[in-house]
Structure 1
Amino acid sequence: MDDLEHSLDSLSIDQSPIYLLKTRSSPSDAYESHFTNTSSGKQVPIFVPVLEHVFRDDALRTLRRHAERFAFAGGSPATKRQIATNNPAKKYGGIIFTSQRAVDAFAIVVSKLDPSKLEAMFDKEMPLYVVGPATATGVKSLGLPCAVLGEETGSGEVLAKFILEHQRTLARNVTHLEGRRLPLLFLVGEQRRDIIAKSLSAETLPLSERTQVIELIVYETGEMATFEESFSMLLQQAAKQKVKEQWVVVFSPQGCEAMLTSLKWLDESTGRFSQAKRNASQCKGWIGVATIGPTTRDYLKGAFAFNPDVCAESPTPVGVSEGINRFSNGTP
């Protein structure tokens, strides 16, 4: 909590905190960079982690064995010097990342590999598919020889379409081995949607284009026990400092109840949103709520009858900030 409190302590009278209900991405966070650089210092991003992630050691060991046994290699010149050209050990035609936590898990694996052998372990022709700029930045920082693709996508649906189109452009010796199409490895948490796997193996696709997606659960997620306390303390401090405007950016359904409880916007008898309670709290300073996309918005509406002020048109820093700016300016 010390870092969070310090962030509020340093606020000037014309600055507004933007609480990002997420863990700060490493090595840099796109939301932090965007709000810091585009608001002329008037909006101060403050991270309030909601989720606690635990990496699965068994999965990380599996990934390390895959790499060391050339499951991701077989076609690059560096690999040909060490193993047979048609490498029967090669298992995958690419890797899919759709979360920063999956990138973090893979980074642990890469850090334990021999740096001098990375070019032999990973074909430069093998694509690493990512969803959005934050995930792309994390994967690029790993220093692998592979191409990182999909940075311009912002959702699983869009990434799935991108992968289908890109796979059609690849040479057969990249996508196939011994006459069969190589599957893609998807690094996931235990809570995930299956839109990518279904899209890439849909029966509506020609048999020659269907790609199996093998999911490997590399992390588990739960709501952080200290989130409600940390968030409540920030709100209390903001009230003492008479902060005029605050925004809360919600990234997932997890933590929504704790957020609304901290804001004191829930009716105790029904557990549903109370507009009267929100109105009563506004005299201490206005607080707006923005969601990263429709999934979280719909969850808030369905579970708590709360309609957030902003739903980003795209799940990106630009999408969130544009939504907040339109709301603040009174434009649709």
Structure 2
Amino acid sequence: MPPPILLLKTRSSPNDGYDDYFSANNYAPTFVPVLEHRFHTSNLAAVRELFASGAFNPEPENAKPTQLNTAENAAIPSKRYGGMIFTSQRASHLPPSIPLYTVGPATARTLTTLRDKYLPTSTIHGADTGTGENLAYMMLDHYNDIQKTVPKPGLLFLVGEQRRDIIPKTLMDPTLPDSKRIDVHEIVVYETGEMDSFETDFKTHVQGYNGEEGIWVVVFSPSGCEAMLRVLQLGPFAAAATAGSKRNFFVATIGPTTRDYLRREFSFEPDVCAEKPSPEGVAEGIRRFVAGLNK
């Protein structure tokens, strides 16, 4: 039988790269959703209005700011944007020819579907950058190379309520020369929370393996890590009687952010940290780990 692999994420629709890859490479993938997402419909409507009002057109716009329903009661400035940034599939809910910047192949695939339908002349960049920091440095080169307008239009960044600020900090670094600096305007279009049912659902899956060995759990974010360790009795939740005994489950993280969170908060070292946040990156990390065990 193919070895099981538990993917702690919601299966992407219509296709999921992790499902496709692991199913084709002799694994039996199972998805266990960790997060639930609530969209800010008023802010999404405001983004659509930007397209309708010509905020992405080459000509300057004199329209009044579009009011947003955010905690800060902010408004979108009445200025143009030269492109958009996405670091999450959840932010890719949109209806000119502009560059679309993304980090990671999964979001790029979602963007490609939407681009083909709504923005067929736009281009997608950054799918292989792997991290927000890498994407930001790539954008400093790429966007400044293609954008010759003075003053330079900024970028619209669609984000979740919880996000790192590495991209806007890097692009708007005050130490950069004016000609290099890129203005970024963030709009929160969704918020994320751990599903109340996750721990119970995950425990049900774990108990269903009845002592099978070599089962992999792939963790995609810090959310759910504590529940995952508790169910697997790993890290600070390892029972004294089972400490040092043979393990049935192994843990891989999608990247260093989640790995470092497990180290910092639970003094737990995952077995694998993918070098690239992709199905191939996870699989290569698992392959190397298993090869090391078999030496």
Which residue pairs with 2:135 in the alignment? 159
CA distance in structure 2 between the aligned counterparts of 1:44 and 1:73, rounded to whole angstroms: 47
| Cα distance in 1, alignment partners of residues 242 and 157 from structure 2 | 42
**Counterpart residue number, 2:40:** 56
Deviation at 1:140, TM superposition (A): 1.1
- Contact kept, 8 Å, 2:61 with 2:80, in 1: the verdict is no
What TM-score, normalized by structure 2, do the two folds share? 0.87
Deviation digits for residues 255-282 of structure 1 (CA, Å, limit 9, x no counterpart): 011111111336xxxxx24374654874
Q: What is the DSSP-based 3-state SS (H/G/I as helix, E as strand, rest coil) of the residue aligned with 2:209?
A: helix
The whole-number CA distance in structure 2 between the counterparts of 1:328 and 1:53 is: 35
Matches within 5 A, 1:1-332: 14-37=1-24, 39=25, 41=26, 43-74=27-58, 87-88=61-62, 91-103=80-92, 105-106=93-94, 110=95, 123-124=96-97, 126-142=98-114, 143=116, 144=119, 145-172=121-148, 176=149, 179-239=150-210, 242-265=211-234, 272-274=236-238, 276=240, 278-279=242-243, 282=246, 286-330=248-292
Aligned to 1:5: none
- Structure having the higher helix fraction is 1
Unaligned runs of 5+ in 2: 64-78
Runs of 4+ residues deviating >6 angstroms: none
- Could you say if the C-alpha distance between residues 278 and 134 of structure 1 is closer, same or farther in structure 2, counting changes exceeding 3 Å? farther
Q: In 1, Cα distance between the equivalents of 2:52 and 2:200?
A: 44
Letter of the 2:57 partner, please give it: A
Larger radius of gyration: 1
Counterpart of 1:220, as a letter, is E
Deviation at 1:301, TM superposition (A): 1.6
CA distances 1:276-311 after superposition (whole Å, capped 9, x unpaired)? 4654874xx611001111221121122112111111
TM-superposed deviation, 1:15:
1.8
SS in 2 for 1:216: strand
Match of 2:73 in 1: none
Instruction: With the length of structure 1 as denominator, give the TM-score of the two structures.
Output: 0.78
RMSD: 2.0
Number of residues of Structure 1 aligned to a counterpart in Structure 2: 275
Contact 2:60 2:80 in 1 (8 A): no
Q: Distance in 1 between matches of 2:241 and 2:53?
A: 59
